[in-house]
C-alpha cells in the first residue's frame, strides 16, 4: 500500500469517528485533538467545518418560502390586489398559506377545464338517458307444441317427409296413410289417376308401430283447411315439402325432416320422458329504434331447436311483431345458452317455441 492510499485510509477512519459522534465543528475539534497524525488532524478539522454546511436543498427551499411570503406581502400592500382578493375566495390563490403563488391564468385554465369536463359528464349522461333503449322486458315461455299426434319413436327421430302438387291452397286436414317401410305410391288427397293399371295403396315410410287417428280422408294431420288440396309442395305427397311424404320435409316420411320416418330431427318436450331445456344464459333483446319511437309492443314467437350442446339453431319466426323486433328477438335468442333437454339422462336435441315479449314500461 503506498503512502497516499495509507493516508486516505487513516483519514477516512478519523472522519468516520467524527461523523459518528456528531457532525459539528466541536466534534471535529475533539476528534482532531485525539489524532496524533497532524496531517489527518488538520484535514479532519476542515471536514468538521464542511459537516456544518446546510443541506443541498435547504437554500433553495428557503428561497421559495421567502418568495411566497414576499408575494403575499406585496399583494397585501397593494390596494388593487386587496380589492381583487376581497372579491375572490380567500384561499383561491394560495394567499396566506405559505405556498408558492398561484397564477390567475392557471386558475382560469383549471376552471375552464373543470367546467368543460363537468359539461361533458352531464351532457353524456343526459344523452344516454334520452337515447338508450328502454329496458326491453322479456318474458320467455318454453312451449312444447305437439305438431303431430304421434307417440315417441323408440330411437332418436331424425326423419321426416313432405310433398305437395304445387296447389295454391294449403294441404287439407286428414289422416296419415298407411305406414310402411317402403313407398310405392305417395299419398295424395287428389288422386291424379283414378284408374291406374296397377293399384297400390298410398303409404308413407314410417314404423308400423305408429298409429294414426282414423279419419275418412288422407291429409296432413297438422293442417286445418278442409278443402281438399295436396298443398303447395312438389313432387307428389301432401304439404309444403317435396318428394312424396306429408308435411314440410323433403322425403317420403312425415314431418319437416328428411329420409323417411317422422319428427323433423328433434324430440319434443314431454314425449317419452324428454325434459324441457332450461335457459341458463338469456340476455335481453334490444328494442329497435323504430319500435321504441312508436311504443310498439307485443310478443315474438320463435321456433327453434336446442341442440345437445345447449345452443339454439334453426330459429324461425312463428309469430311476427314487425318493426325490427323479430330480428332483435332472433339475434338475442341466437346468443342464448340452454341446459339441454334430456331423455334417460342423455342430452338430446329438442324443438321448442320461445315467446319473447317486448314491453315498454
Partner 1 sequence: MRALVIPTDERLMIEAAQRDPSRFAALYEQNFDRVYGFIARRVRDRAVAEDITADVFHRALEHLGKYQWQGAPFSAWLLRIAANALTDHWRKTSREAVPTADELLDSAVADETESRAILAEMVAGLPEDQRRVILRRFVDQRSIKEIAAELGRSEGAIKQLQLRALENLRARMRSQHE
User: Contact positions toward partner 1, by CB under 8 A?
Assistant: 4-5, 7-9, 11-12, 15-16, 19, 22-27, 42-43, 46-47, 49-56, 58-59, 62-63, 65-67, 69-71, 73-74, 77
Grid coordinates representing 92? 383561491
CA distance linking residue 93 with residue 73, whole number of Å: 14
Instruction: Determine the Cα angle at 47 with ends 43 and 52, to 5°.
Output: 155
Nearest CB to partner 1, comparing residues 22 and 339: 22
CA distance linking residue 239 with residue 256, whole number of Å: 10
Q: Give the nearest distance from C-beta 40 to partner 1 in angstroms.
A: 10
Nearest CB to partner 1, comparing residues 77 and 193: 77
Nearest CB to partner 1, comparing residues 32 and 158: 32
Q: What is the DSSP string of 177-246?
A: -EEESS-SB---SS-S-SS-SS---BEEE--TT------SSB--TT----S----S-BSBSEESSBSS-E
Q: Give the nearest distance from C-beta 26 to partner 1 in angstroms.
A: 5
First CA to last CA distance, the chain: 94
Number of residues that this document lists for the chain = 361
Q: Give the nearest distance from C-beta 116 to partner 1 in angstroms.
A: 33
Q: Give the nearest distance from C-beta 106 to partner 1 in angstroms.
A: 18
Q: Give the nearest distance from C-beta 70 to partner 1 in angstroms.
A: 4
Nearest CB to partner 1, comparing residues 11 and 218: 11
- Do residues 279 and 337 make contact, with C-beta atoms less than 8 angstroms apart? yes
Q: Are strands 342-343 and 346-347 parallel, antiparallel or unpaired?
A: antiparallel
Q: Give the nearest distance from C-beta 59 to partner 1 in angstroms.
A: 6
Q: Give the nearest distance from C-beta 23 to partner 1 in angstroms.
A: 6
Strand spans (E) along the chain:
140-143, 161-162, 178-180, 203-205, 238-239, 246-252, 267-268, 278-281, 298-306, 312-319, 337-339, 342-343, 346-347, 350-358
Which candidate, 180, 188, 220, places its Cα nearest to that of 204? 180
3-state DSSP assignment of residue 13: helix
Nearest CB to partner 1, comparing residues 54 and 216: 54
Rounded to an integer, what is the distance from CA 212 to the centroid of its chain?
47
Torsion of CA 264, 269, 271, 275, to 10 degrees: 130
CA atoms within 13 A on the CB side of 151: 8
Nearest CB to partner 1, comparing residues 19 and 315: 19
Q: Give the nearest distance from C-beta 86 to partner 1 in angstroms.
A: 20
Nearest CB to partner 1, comparing residues 64 and 227: 64
Nearest CB to partner 1, comparing residues 30 and 284: 30
Nearest CB to partner 1, comparing residues 71 and 288: 71
Q: Give the nearest distance from C-beta 79 to partner 1 in angstroms.
A: 15
Amino acid at each position: 500500500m503506498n503512502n497516499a492510499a495509507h493516508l486516505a485510509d487513516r483519514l477516512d477512519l478519523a472522519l468516520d469517528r467524527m461523523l459518528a459522534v456528531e457532525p459539528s465543528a466541536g466534534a471535529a475539534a475533539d476528534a482532531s485533538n485525539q489524532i496524533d497524525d497532524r496531517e489527518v488532524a488538520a484535514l479532519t478539522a476542515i471536514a468538521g467545518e464542511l459537516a456544518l454546511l446546510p443541506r443541498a436543498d435547504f437554500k433553495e427551499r428557503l428561497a421559495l418560502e421567502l418568495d411566497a411570503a414576499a408575494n403575499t406581502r406585496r399583494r397585501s400592500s397593494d390596494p388593487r390586489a386587496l380589492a381583487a382578493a376581497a372579491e375572490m375566495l380567500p384561499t383561491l390563490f394560495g394567499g396566506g398559506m405559505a405556498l408558492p403563488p398561484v397564477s390567475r391564468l392557471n386558475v382560469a385554465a383549471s376552471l375552464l377545464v373543470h367546467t368543460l369536463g363537468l359539461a361533458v359528464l352531464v351532457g353524456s349522461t343526459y344523452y344516454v338517458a334520452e337515447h338508450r333503449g328502454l329496458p326491453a322486458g322479456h318474458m320467455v315461455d318454453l312451449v312444447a307444441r305437439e305438431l303431430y299426434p304421434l307417440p315417441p319413436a323408440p330411437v332418436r327421430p331424425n326423419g321426416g317427409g313432405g310433398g305437395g302438387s304445387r296447389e295454391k291452397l294449403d294441404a287439407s286436414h286428414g289422416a296419415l296413410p298407411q305406414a310402411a317401410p317402403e313407398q310405392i305410391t305417395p299419398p295424395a288427397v287428389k288422386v291424379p289417376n283414378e284408374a291406374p293399371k296397377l293399384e297400390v295403396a298410398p303409404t308413407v315410410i314410417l314404423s308400423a308401430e305408429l298409429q294414426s287417428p282414423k279419419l275418412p280422408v288422407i291429409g296432413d294431420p297438422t293442417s286445418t283447411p278442409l278443402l281438399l288440396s295436396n298443398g303447395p309442395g312438389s313432387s307428389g305427397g301432401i304439404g309444403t315439402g317435396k318428394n312424396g311424404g306429408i308435411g314440410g320435409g323433403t322425403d317420403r316420411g312425415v314431418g319437416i325432416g328428411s329420409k323417411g320416418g317422422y319428427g323433423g330431427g328433434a324430440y319434443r318436450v314431454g314425449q317419452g320422458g324428454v325434459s324441457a331445456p332450461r335457459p341458463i344464459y338469456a340476455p335481453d333483446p334490444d328494442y329497435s329504434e323504430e319500435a321504441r319511437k312508436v311504443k310498439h309492443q307485443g310478443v315474438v314467437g320463435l321456433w327453434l331447436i336446442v341442440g345437445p350442446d345447449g345452443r339454439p339453431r334453426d330459429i324461425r319466426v312463428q309469430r311476427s311483431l314487425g318493426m325490427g323486433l323479430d330480428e332483435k328477438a332472433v339475434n338475442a335468442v341466437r346468443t342464448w345458452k340452454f341446459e339441454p333437454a334430456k331423455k334417460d339422462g342423455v342430452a338430446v336435441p329438442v324443438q321448442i317455441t320461445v315467446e319473447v315479449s317486448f314491453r315498454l314500461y
